[in-house]
Each structure stands twice: as C-alpha cells, then as structure tokens.
A and B are shown apart, each in its own frame.
Chain A
Amino acid sequence: MWFSERGLRVSRSFWLLVLLAAVVSPPSVVLSIFFAAALHECGHLLALRVFHVPVEGLHLSAFGAVIHARGARRLSYGRELIVTLAGCGMNLVCGFLTALFALQVSWENGFVLAGAHLLLCAFNLLPVPPLDGAHALCLAVSSLFGPIAGDRTAVLAGAIVSLALLGAALYFSVCRRGGALFLFASLALFIRAVSQLRLAKRVIKV
C-alpha cells in the first residue's frame, strides 16, 4: 500500500530523542508534540495523495519525519509548495479547532495540545534547511526567479536564521542560565544549515 517500496524506517536518533523526551519532559507535553507531529505528516501525505503522487517510504529521525516520494519532483512549483505547506496548514487548522474545543469543554490538556500544534507549525516555518520553511522559501523563489536563485536564497536564509537562533540560544544558556536543550537544538540546526551551504557551493561549482 502506502510505504510499499522503502517502507517505514526509524533511525536510532529518533529513539534517542524519544528516550530524552520521556526522561526530561512531562508526558502530556511529549504526547502532544508527537500527536501534532503525526498530524503534520498526515497533512503532507494527504496533499501527496490529492496530487496522486505515490509515497515510497517514511523515515523517522531526530530531525522529524522525511517522506520519500520521488514523484513529488515532477509536480509544478505551486503544487510542491502546497505539499510542503500542507503539514503546517494541518497543524494550524487542528491547533485552532482543538483550542476552541478545549475552551468549550474546559479541557486543560486540550490547550496544551493546541499549543503544541501551533508551536510546531511556527517552528516548521523557520527557513532553516531540514524544516519545511526552507523548502517552501526555495520553491517560492524558484517559481519567480529560477531554481538556482531559489536554492541560493534558501541556503543563505537558513545560514542567517540558524546563526541568529544559535546566538539567541547561547544568550539564554550562558547569560540567563537557561537549560542546554535549546543550545543543542540550535547547534544541530546550525550544523545542518552550514552543511547545506557547503553542498550548495559544491553544486554551483559543478
């Protein structure tokens, strides 16, 4: 059926993340984030389904889920943009609906779930390479000024934003004596962004 060719692959870093989350955070937050992330991926899958793109596999890692669908490359920029933003759209809609429902029935954990949806949506829209925002930016610029401009803009924006995030995380960890979690997360994003920068340079040279 869906993950016929490459199947569902779960990397070790994902389990490590689950272990860390289970040890550090309260269960309501961890479950809310996982539920929101699952619905986010469902958004992408639904959009791919609508455009009749076969889905080959799903890879779960510490950076989130990656859907393997080679057919998506054949989509137009507009449609690929829709597929990319479908996950965040799903989170946005579910977040507001859950919040309204939680208000109606005064369900405490409903607000937490709604918050997880909205924060995940906002986080995914950051233009840093492994996240949806970078891909969406790349597609949007590509459709206007061509693919090379798109790639360059996305990579450059990723490097700048991840550097800013790293600076902010350093400030919170060192100056305000916050936890090291944000520092780790922003460092991982920064490393990904820099590796993309090197990759893009190499591609341009070729």
Chain B
Amino acid sequence: MSLRPLPLCVFALCGGYFFALVHIGYGRNGREANEMKQRRRRWTTYSGRGKRVAARTHTARDKAAAAPRMLLQLIVCGVLFVALVGLKLLLPGNLSALRGTLGQWLVRDADFVSAFSAVGRAASGEQDWGDSLSEAYVAVFGGESSAQEVSGNLIGMTVSEQELSGFANTRALPPLAVGEQRILGISYTAPLSGTVTSPFGWREDPNGAGECFHYGMDIAGEEGASVLCFADGTVGTVGESTILGNYVTVNHESGISTLYAHCSAITASAGQSVRKGDAIAKVGATGNATGAHLHFEVHDGEKYLNPVYYVVF
C-alpha cells in the first residue's frame, strides 16, 4: 500500500530523536567528567584564590557549552513537533493508521480499560478476586484460544456458503471462526442499515499489516447514527481499546453475545438490560478505523459466527 512509507518516516524521525538525545546526553557527560578532572587538578595545584577564579571561569564555560546543546535539542523537538502536526492536519487518516500500527506492535489488542476495571470491581467487592484477575489477564494477554495461530482445519463449508460469505478462495478458516449458519434460537434485528464495507473472512489489513482474518462485519454509517441492539439481553462490557475504539458487548440468551466497535459513544452502561432494537451506541471511527462504520461481531460462546446470516437490511 502507498501509505506504508509514512509511518516509516515517522518511526525514522523518532529514531533520530532518540539518537540525538542519547548522543547529546553522552556528550554532556563526557564534557562534565573532563571538567571535573580539570577542576580537581586545579584544586591540587592552586591556592584558595586561584581555585575561586578557576571555578568562576568554569561556570561561565559550562553555560556557554550548554547553549548550543539546548539549541540543538530545541531544533530536533521542533522538527518532530511540526512533522507530527503537519501529518495530523494534512493526512489525518494516516496518523490513525500509524496509531493503529504502533498500538498493534506495542500492545496488540490488549484492553487495559477492561483489565483495570476488572481489578477495580474486585476491590469494590462486586466480583470475586480470582475471576477478576483471570478476566484482567485475558483482557491484556488474550485467552488461551486467541493465542493460537491461524492454522486451523477447514470447517465444513459448501461452495454456496463460501460465495455467500464473500470468500473468494478456499483458504482454511481460523479455528474459532464458524463458516456455516447456526440457528440462534432468538429473535434478532440488524444493528445498523448501510453498506457492508468489509465482510467476515480473510482480507488485506486496512493498515497494511498483511492478510488477516476479519472476525466481524463492517457496516458503513453516518457518524452519530444510532446502533441498535441485536437482540434482548444484558450489556456485558463497555470499554475502549486501541484497536476497537469505544466498544460494547451484549450477552443474549443461549450463550450468544454480540460486539459493537469503533463507536463514537456508548449510550448503554454495563449490566443494563436491553431489548431488541434499543439504541446502545453511536456510529463513529474510534480506534483502528479509517472511516465511520460499525464493526459487528456475533459470538456463540468462544466461536465467531458470520454475521451475514443474521443481518438483514
């Protein structure tokens, strides 16, 4: 993709900044050490009067030596600042892509809000400590299942299903993804009406991270449009992560749960009972998103179902 060089440029800029800091820092320490040595030599050579004079001249020299260093630091910081602001103003999409790439590289999809919140809930006595700590662990490091690499077996699919779900190739599904339609046994509705911009399945990562599996369905919508609840249930987690942005999960009957991500705001709160068609969030482009859309996932326990079977506009 053509966007890749830009994050690289910013990484290079940051690298240059680090190098400048380290280099300048060592220069300063070396100079200080030298001057300390000289001062000690003078201390042994001169009398009291001579020492005072020497000390005074060194203070002046210290200041003179510090001035170009400060100027250099100022210039480096200024250039970095201007580059980042320019990037943000001229190419806002790229900066969010950079943020996504950096976040992906540093923390993957760790959800610190959920982790912190779980510990807080345990402290309030609302949850058991063991459950909370394991929840926090899963939020940050991922569950056992999510750590598995995408090399699962081909789950029984027919050609028509592949066409329906948008799979152009016969590539195997990840172990947790379910290709075939399952009967949910609950009454449901579409969370948002709009164009499906990215279906469930393998796709090229929008931020240029190569091919990856898309576990949900992206529906384009107007910023601020209401996101409706898929079915009756209870709001599970209201969170915020680098990848998903503002998101909310809803637990429905018979082990089904749904996730609504990249919202501009979540209007429901955790633990609240919701009915099918209730507005629970607003469409946005938070997290790793290149435009206003809803990322919608349907889970059956720990399995990911293809939402295309259940979202009818």
Contacts and interface: CB of A to CB of B under 8 A. Distances in A.
Interface of A: 12, 20, 23-26, 28-29, 32, 95-96, 98-100, 102-103, 106, 108, 110-116, 118-119, 172, 175-181
Contacts of A114: 116, 119-120, 123-124
B242 A26 contact: yes
Contacts, number: 104
A112 B121 CA distance: 9
Given A12-B21, A24-B103, A179-B105, A115 B110 contact: no
Interface in B224-247: 238, 240-242
A112 B113 contact: yes
A180 B106 CA distance: 5
Contact of A115 (B102, B106, B116): B116
Given A12-B21, A108-B238, A178 B141 contact: yes
21 contacts: A24-B242, A25-B112, A28-B113, A32-B116, A96-B124, A98-B120, A100-B124, A106-B271, A108-B238, A108-B269, A111-B116, A112-B117, A114-B119, A115-B117, A116-B116, A119-B116, A177-B108, A177-B149, A178-B142, A179-B104, A179-B110
B107 to A, nearest CB: 4
A29 B269 contact: no
Given A24-B102, A178-B142, A103 B124 contact: yes
Given A24-B103, A24-B242, 4 more contacts: A28-B240, A95-B120, A176-B141, A178-B141
Nearest to A110: B120
A116 B238 CA distance: 17
A103 B126 CA distance: 8
Contacts of A26: 112-113, 240-242
Given A24-B107, A24-B242, A178-B142, A111 B99 contact: no
B270 interface: yes
Contacts of A99: 120-121, 123-125
Contacts of B103: 23-24
A108 B115 CA distance: 13
B131 to A, nearest CB: 14
A25 B110 CA distance: 10
A187 to B, nearest CB: 13
Considering residues B106, B125, B242, B271, which has the most beta carbons from chain A within 10 angstroms of its beta carbon? Answer: B106
B141 A115 contact: no
A95 B125 CA distance: 12
A181 B120 contact: no
Given A29-B112, A106-B269, A119-B116, A111 B121 contact: yes
A119 B118 CA distance: 11
A118 B147 contact: no
Given A113-B120, A115-B116, A180-B106, A25 B242 contact: yes
A12 B99 CA distance: 21
Given A32-B116, A111-B116, A103 B125 contact: yes
A181 B106 contact: yes
Interface string B242-268: 100000000000000000000000000
Nearest to B140: A178
Contacts of B147: 175-177
B110 A178 contact: yes
A96 B124 CA distance: 6
A17 B313 CA distance: 46
B125 to A, nearest CB: 7
B93 to A, nearest CB: 16
Contact of B120 (A118, A177, A178, A179): A118
Contact of A111 (B124, B149, B242): B124
B120 A115 contact: yes
A111 B110 contact: no
B92 to A, nearest CB: 14
Contacts of B123: 95-96, 99-100, 114-115, 118
Interface string B1-38: 00000000000000000000100000000000000000
A28 B124 CA distance: 19
A121 to B, nearest CB: 10
A112 B106 contact: no
Contacts of B121: 99, 103, 111
Given A12-B21, A26-B241, A111 B117 contact: yes
B120 A180 contact: no
A119 B123 CA distance: 11
Q: List the 10 shortest-distance A-B pairs measured between CB atoms, nearest first.
A: A115-B116, A111-B120, A114-B120, A115-B119, A99-B124, A99-B123, A179-B107, A115-B120, A103-B124, A26-B240
Nearest to B112: A29
